[in-house]
Structure 1
C-alpha cells in the first residue's frame, strides 16, 4: 500500500511538472509550429498574422488568388544541405592516466556503429531540420536488445531514435537554463495513440477522463480521436555504497558500486580479490516511466546512464524577460514573405481583371434579351460583331440610334507597388542570407568563389555550432550509457572512419606517456574520457581533397625518386574506383611492409611481423660488407708480402751481379799496367760511390712503399673489426 501511494504521488508530481512547463511555453511553441508550417505546408503562409498582429484572414483579402513564392524554404534547405555535406562526428579522448588511447579509438568506432545500425542519421537530420525551420529539434537514446525476438540473445546496444514534431511533445524542466539541458531534473516526451491501439496495448489501463479533472491541469490527455501517453524521465541523486578491491596478482585496485558487485561477485571470489574498504557516495541515477493522464502505464525504473537521454537542438535561443525565446531561420523573414505574397497576388488579381478593360457601356434597351447572351459570351466565343437594336416608336421610326456611350477605363497598377515588390525581394534575401551563386558568372576566379563560400558559412555557422553542442551532449550521454551496457568480454562490431568494419573487445591497454610502456588493461569502468566534436567534410570528400593535393605535390617531385614513388602510392591508396580493389590491396601491402603506414587489422599486424622476422633471418648487410673488407685486406697483405719477397730477390740478384762485376774488375786489373790500374781504380771508386748512392735511394723508396701499404692495410683491418663488433651486437642471442 505504501508503494502504491508512493507511485501515486510520483504520478501526481509528474503531471504537475508537465502542466507547469506546458502552460509556460505554450505561446512560444505555437510560434515554432507556425514557423514550421510557414516553411513546409502549402497555403500556410496565408495563415496567422504578422508580428504586429495584422491578420490576413480578413474578408478584404478573400478575393485574392493567394499565391505563394516560398523563398524561405529554399534558404532553409540550403543550410540543411550544408550540414549534410559537413557532418558532425563525435570523438572520445583519454582524460586521465587510467584512460586508454586504444579504448578511446574503439569508443569512436562503436559510436559510429550504433549510429549506423540504428536510426542515428534520421534522428540527427530530423532534429537539425526542425531546428532550422522552427527553432527546436530533438532526438533520444535508449538501451534495448539487439534482437528482441531471440530470447537467447542478451546483447544490448544503444539506439539513436528520432523525435518527430518536438515542439508539441518534448518538455524540459523549467528551471534548467543550459543549452543542452544538462541541468534539467526531469523531462517528458509525449506521443499519441488511437483509443483502439491504446486498449490493445494496455488492456488493463484506463484512459484519462474527457471531462475537466480536479488536478488543475490544462492539458487534455484524452480526446475522442487520440489518447496521449508520456515517457517521463527524472534524475535522482541517491546514496550508493562503493567498495575498493585489490587484485592479489597484479596489486591493481578497482572500485565497484553495489550494483556492479552483484554482477561480478563470483569473479571476485574465484580470483581471491581483497576488499580494501567501502563507503557511501552520492550518484546520479535516471528513472524512466510511461504514464497517461490517469495512472502509470509502466512504473518508473532505472535506465543506464547518468543523464536524461533527450538531446535538444536549437536554432536561435535567448532569454529575454526571464523567458526562453526560440526561433528558427524563417522567423525574421516571415513578414517580408507575407508582404511579397500579398503584392504578387494583387498584381495577379489585376492581371486577371485585364479582360474587363474597355468594356462597352450601353443602354440596356439597346440589347434585348436574345442579344444579351451574345454580349455576355464575347470573351469566350470571340464573335466577329456584337448586334444592337435601335429604339423605335410605334410607327417604326428610329427614336434613339443604337450606340455605345462609353468604355470602362483600363486597370491602373499603383505606382509604389513595383518598387515595394523589389524591396521585399531584397529584404528577404538580406534577412535569410540568400545565396548569390546563382547570379555569378562562370568565369569567376576560384579564390573569389572560396571567399563567397566562406561568407555563406558565417550565415549558417550559428546552426552548425548549436548542432555541434548537441552532438557533444549526445556523446556524453552515450558514454555514460555505454559504461553500463557494453562489457569487456564480448566481441563487438566497430566502424572505422573510412567505413570499414572490425570486431573488437571494449578494453584497451593503458600506456605510460613518459616511459611508453603498457601499465594496465582497462575497460569502460575505468578512466575518464573527454568528448569532443569534429565539424568537417565527410571522409570521402576529405579523401578526394587529399588526392587532389597529392597530385599537385607529385608535379613538384622529380620522377624516379623515393618520394615520387611514395606519393604515387599514397594517391592510389586514397582513390576510389571500379576494378582497382586488387591493385589497392597490393599497394597497401607494399606501404605496410615499407613502414609508411601502420597496420590496422590483426591480419595486417601478422603480415608485418612475418616480414620483419624474415628480414632478421637474412644475412646482415653490414656483416657481408665487413667480410668483404676483411678478405680484401687479407689479399692486399698477401700482395704486400709477395712484393717484399720480390724486392729481396732483386736485391740478392743485384748483390750477385755486383760480385760478378767485382771479379771482372779484379781480372782486368791483373792484366793492366800500372798507369791503367791507377786510372781504373779511380773510375771504379767513382762507380762504387754512384752504385752505393743508387742502392740507398732504391732501398729508401722500397721502404716508403711498404710502409704506405702497411698503413692502408692496418686501417682496413680496423674498419673490419668495428663492423664485426657491430654485427655481433645486432644478432639476437641464441636460445
Structure 2
C-alpha cells in the first residue's frame, strides 16, 4: 500500500517524463479543434483578414469514419479445452457491455484524440447494477478519459504498446472548489474544507481555503483562456499494480464436495465455514497481481479504510490488470523516450501556408482600389461631387463634364485614362494549389476530385477506396491492440464480478440478445456432485482481435450474394433457389418483417438447414417429425425433379457400363481370334512336319525295297561260284 508521499513521488516521475511530447500533442489538439492562427508562427502577421481554410479536418473525419466502418472483433478462447461454455458466455457478455452508450462514447473519444494528437485512452470500472438493498450484483462499464495526452500519465518504464507492462498510471480530474468539497463528502463522509482547528494551526483565516493541488496538466502555449483566474483543484485517480503472495485453500464440506478460496478472501468467512462443518484439505502458496485504486488530492488520500499510519489505504479493484486502455496514432521510441503524433503534426505547416496565402489574397482584394477614371481638372471643374463616389455608392444616373476650358478651347471627351488595378503576384496563385496538395500528401483526405468519376463502376470505386483507405491502417492496427487489451482486462474483471448465480444478457454478433443463467448449480448424475453451469471462474482466456467490416456491412454483402445465387439457380435447381430465398428473408430487417423472418427460419429448421436453438423450436421440430405432414407441391415437384435426375444419372451409368462391357467383349474376341490363328498356324506346321516325315519314310522304304530286290537278284550267283583256294 502506498502513502500519500510515495504516491506523489510516483506521480511526479510520470508527470515529468515526456513533457515535450505532451506539449506538442496539446498544441496539435488546439490547432485541429480551436484555431490555426494563435501560435508563434502566424501570431505576428499584419493581415487584417485571417481566414481558416481547413483541409485537415476532412482528413481526420475520413480516418475516423474508417475506424468506425471497420470495427475490431474480439474473440475469447479458453486455455482449457473443457471450458468452451465459459468462453461463449464471456463473448456474449463482452458484446453486451461493448454496445453500451458509455462504451461507445469512450471509444469515439479515444480514437478521435489518437487521430488528432496521437494518443487517447478509456477506463474500465465496476459499479452496482441497482441501488436496491440486498442487490450486490455488479456490472462492468467504460468511461472516457478526456484529453488523455494531458491528463493520463503512465509508468515511465512501460514500453509496450498496450501498457500491459506498466506498474502504475495516474489520471488527473479537474474540480472546482465546490465540486471538490462534494467529492470529499461522498468518499470520506466529511467536509472538504479545512476544520477550524486545522485552520487555526495553519494560521488560515479564509473559510474557503482550497487544498493543495496536483501538478496541472500540460497546456499549449496557444491556450486562449490561460490566466482566466479560475480556481481548479486536480484530484488524481491512481492505479497501482503489485505482485503479492497468497494461499489457495481447499476446503471439504460435510458431503465431501470441495471448494477453493484464496486466503485473502477468507478473512471474514473462515469462522462461518468451520462452523458449517468445512474442513481444510490442503493449502498451496501462489503469487498473484493485485491492483489498488487511490483517489487523492494534494493533501490526503480520499478513498478506502483508514490505515494504521492515519492515511486511507485505497481500494482493491476487480481483476489483476490496470483498467486503463491507451490507443495510439503513430508511435515510436527515440533515444529512450516515447513520442507519438496524429495527422495534425505533419499537416500543420502546409495548412498554415494555405491559410496565410488565401488570407493574404482576400486581404489584397479587400484593400485594393477599384479602377477609376482620370480627368483633367478643367474637365470636371464644378462637377467634382459627381465623381467623389464610385461603383454602387454613386447614386447619380450620369455624370457631367465641361466641353470648353476657360479660354474657350475644346476639352477631351471622357476620361483621359484609367488607373490600373493592382495585380496579384503570380507566385501566390501558383503556390495556393501547391499548398493544398501538400496537405493532401500528408493527410490524404479521401477520394481525389480528379478520379471521382460518377461513371465509374461500383467495383472500381471500391478498389479506389480500398487503396486510399490505407492511410488509416496504422490507426486501425493500434486500435486493434487496444481492444485486445481491453478484452484481457474485461476477462480478468469478469471472473471476479460474475462469480455468483445470476441472470445475464448475452449479445450475439448479429445484435440479437438472450437471457441465460450463470453459475447455476446442478447435480451431476454420474458423479453425484454439484457442478456449476456457465462458470467463468477459475479459468484463463486467450484473447484474439481482428479488423473487419461491421456485421451490417457483411450482412448486406451476404444478402446480395444470396439473391444472385437464388436467381441463377431458379431454373437449374428450384429447391436450392427456394432455400437461398428463405435464407435471404432471415437476414432482411425492416418494418413488420419479424413475422416473415420467423416463417423463413421455421421452414429452414423443418428442412434441416438450421438447427433449433430454443426450446420452442425444438418442440416444433419434434411435433413436425411426429406428424409427418404431406409435402407441399413445390416439395413434390422438387422431389420428382430429383428422382428424374437420379434416373437419368442411373441410365447414363448403365449405358456407360454397357459400352464398357462391349469394349471388353470385343477385346476378348480379338484375343481369341489371335489365339485361334496362332493355333491354326501351329497345326499347319505340324501337318507339314508329318508330311515331310511321311515322305522320308516312303523314300527310305522304297530304297530298302530296291536294295532287297538287288540282293535277291545277286544271291543265286553267290551260291555257284566257289572261292579260290
Taking structure 2 as the reference length, the TM-score comes to 0.72
The correspondence of residues 195-274 of structure 1 with structure 2, limited to 5 A, is 195-202=177-184, 204-206=191-193, 224-245=230-251, 255-261=260-266
Q: CA offsets, 1:207-258, max 9 Å, x none?
A: 899999999968799975221111111112111111235689898x764312
In structure 2, relative to structure 1, the CA distance for the partners of 1:246 and 1:522 (3 Å cut) is farther
Report the Cα distance in structure 1 between the residues aligned to 2:243 and 2:594, rounded to whole angstroms: 55
Report the Cα distance in structure 2 between the residues aligned to 1:275 and 1:236, rounded to whole angstroms: 28
After TM superposition, give the deviation of residue 356 of structure 1 in Å: 4.5
Equivalent pair of 1:333/1:431 in contact (CA under 8 Å): yes
Report the Cα distance in structure 2 between the residues aligned to 1:220 and 1:86, rounded to whole angstroms: 33
Report the Cα distance in structure 2 between the residues aligned to 1:38 and 1:224, rounded to whole angstroms: 23
Match of 2:427 in 1: 416
After TM superposition, give the deviation of residue 152 of structure 1 in Å: 3.2
Name which of 49, 55, 72 aligns with 2:56.
Answer: 72
In structure 2, relative to structure 1, the CA distance for the partners of 1:34 and 1:571 (3 Å cut) is same
Q: CA offsets, 1:82-121, max 9 Å, x none?
A: 22222223221222234x2222111111112222345111
- The residue matched to 1:296 in structure 2 has which SS? coil
Report the Cα distance in structure 2 between the residues aligned to 1:126 and 1:215, rounded to whole angstroms: 26
Does structure 1 residue 93 correspond to structure 2 residue 77?
Answer: yes
Equivalent pair of 1:506/1:523 in contact (CA under 8 Å): yes
Does structure 1 residue 84 correspond to structure 2 residue 89?
Answer: no
Equivalent pair of 1:205/1:297 in contact (CA under 8 Å): no
Match of 1:46 in 2: 37
Q: CA offsets, 1:55-77, max 9 Å, x none?
A: 1111xx23241111111101110
Name which of 165, 168, 179 aligns with 2:150.
Answer: 168
Q: Which is helix-richer, 1 or 2?
A: 1
Equivalent pair of 2:291/2:322 in contact (CA under 8 Å): yes
Report the Cα distance in structure 2 between the residues aligned to 1:45 and 1:255, rounded to whole angstroms: 61
Q: CA offsets, 1:663-722, max 9 Å, x none?
A: xxxxxxxxxxxxxxxxxxxxxxxxxxxxxxxxxxxxxxxxxxxxxxxxxxxxxxxxxxxx
Report the Cα distance in structure 2 between the residues aligned to 1:250 and 1:604, rounded to whole angstroms: 40
Q: CA offsets, 1:411-465, max 9 Å, x none?
A: 1222211221121111111111232265421222333222212212321111111
Match of 1:146 in 2: 129
Equivalent pair of 1:142/1:158 in contact (CA under 8 Å): yes
Name which of 580, 583, 607 aligns with 1:570.
Answer: 583
Match of 2:12 in 1: 19
In structure 2, relative to structure 1, the CA distance for the partners of 1:167 and 1:366 (3 Å cut) is farther
Q: CA offsets, 1:237-287, max 9 Å, x none?
A: 111111235689898x76431244468869977997764421222111111
In structure 2, relative to structure 1, the CA distance for the partners of 1:442 and 1:509 (3 Å cut) is farther
Report the Cα distance in structure 2 between the residues aligned to 1:468 and 1:138, rounded to whole angstroms: 13
In structure 2, relative to structure 1, the CA distance for the partners of 1:378 and 1:615 (3 Å cut) is closer
Report the Cα distance in structure 2 between the residues aligned to 1:231 and 1:147, rounded to whole angstroms: 24
Match of 2:446 in 1: 435
CA-atom RMSD in angstroms: 4.0
Equivalent pair of 1:103/1:506 in contact (CA under 8 Å): no
- The residue matched to 1:584 in structure 2 has which SS? helix
In structure 2, relative to structure 1, the CA distance for the partners of 1:118 and 1:487 (3 Å cut) is farther
Report the Cα distance in structure 1 between the residues aligned to 2:454 and 2:265, rounded to whole angstroms: 65
The correspondence of residues 454-533 of structure 1 with structure 2, limited to 5 A, is 454-507=466-519, 521=533, 523-533=535-545
After TM superposition, give the deviation of residue 501 of structure 1 in Å: 1.8
Equivalent pair of 1:366/1:388 in contact (CA under 8 Å): yes
Report the Cα distance in structure 2 between the residues aligned to 1:296 and 1:552, rounded to whole angstroms: 66
Query: Structure 1: 5+ residue runs without aligned partners?
Result: 1-5, 50-54, 511-517, 617-735
After TM superposition, give the deviation of residue 47 of structure 1 in Å: 2.3
Equivalent pair of 2:121/2:148 in contact (CA under 8 Å): yes
Report the Cα distance in structure 2 between the residues aligned to 1:267 and 1:461, rounded to whole angstroms: 57
In structure 2, relative to structure 1, the CA distance for the partners of 1:213 and 1:561 (3 Å cut) is closer
The total of aligned residue pairs comes to: 582
In structure 2, relative to structure 1, the CA distance for the partners of 1:64 and 1:94 (3 Å cut) is same
Report the Cα distance in structure 1 between the residues aligned to 2:217 and 2:166, rounded to whole angstroms: 22
In structure 2, relative to structure 1, the CA distance for the partners of 1:215 and 1:343 (3 Å cut) is closer
Match of 1:133 in 2: 116
Report the Cα distance in structure 1 between the residues aligned to 2:483 and 2:389, rounded to whole angstroms: 66
- The residue matched to 1:461 in structure 2 has which SS? helix
Equivalent pair of 1:246/1:254 in contact (CA under 8 Å): yes
Report the Cα distance in structure 2 between the residues aligned to 1:27 and 1:406, rounded to whole angstroms: 61
Name which of 333, 339, 358 aligns with 1:319.
Answer: 333
Report the Cα distance in structure 1 between the residues aligned to 2:483 and 2:64, rounded to whole angstroms: 16
Name which of 291, 298, 309 aligns with 1:293.
Answer: 298
Match of 2:699 in 1: none
Report the Cα distance in structure 2 between the residues aligned to 1:267 and 1:97, rounded to whole angstroms: 35
Report the Cα distance in structure 1 between the residues aligned to 2:99 and 2:260, rounded to whole angstroms: 33
Equivalent pair of 2:193/2:209 in contact (CA under 8 Å): no
Name which of 347, 355, 362 aligns with 2:361.
Answer: 347
Q: CA offsets, 1:632-684, max 9 Å, x none?
A: xxxxxxxxxxxxxxxxxxxxxxxxxxxxxxxxxxxxxxxxxxxxxxxxxxxxx
Report the Cα distance in structure 2 between the residues aligned to 1:603 and 1:266, rounded to whole angstroms: 47
After TM superposition, give the deviation of residue 592 of structure 1 in Å: 2.2
Equivalent pair of 1:134/1:329 in contact (CA under 8 Å): yes
In structure 2, relative to structure 1, the CA distance for the partners of 1:348 and 1:234 (3 Å cut) is same
In structure 2, relative to structure 1, the CA distance for the partners of 1:263 and 1:76 (3 Å cut) is farther
Match of 1:57 in 2: 43
The correspondence of residues 351-362 of structure 1 with structure 2, limited to 5 A, is 351-358=365-372
After TM superposition, give the deviation of residue 154 of structure 1 in Å: 1.6
Report the Cα distance in structure 2 between the residues aligned to 1:508 and 1:93, rounded to whole angstroms: 22
Q: CA offsets, 1:286-313, max 9 Å, x none?
A: 1111111121122411011111111111
Match of 1:194 in 2: 176
In structure 2, relative to structure 1, the CA distance for the partners of 1:270 and 1:450 (3 Å cut) is farther
In structure 2, relative to structure 1, the CA distance for the partners of 1:167 and 1:463 (3 Å cut) is same
- The residue matched to 2:36 in structure 1 has which SS? helix
Match of 1:37 in 2: 30
Does structure 1 residue 546 correspond to structure 2 residue 558?
Answer: yes
Does structure 1 residue 590 correspond to structure 2 residue 603?
Answer: yes
After TM superposition, give the deviation of residue 342 of structure 1 in Å: 0.8
Which stretch shows the higher mean deviation, 125-134 or 591-600? 591-600
- The residue matched to 1:119 in structure 2 has which SS? helix
- The residue matched to 2:17 in structure 1 has which SS? helix
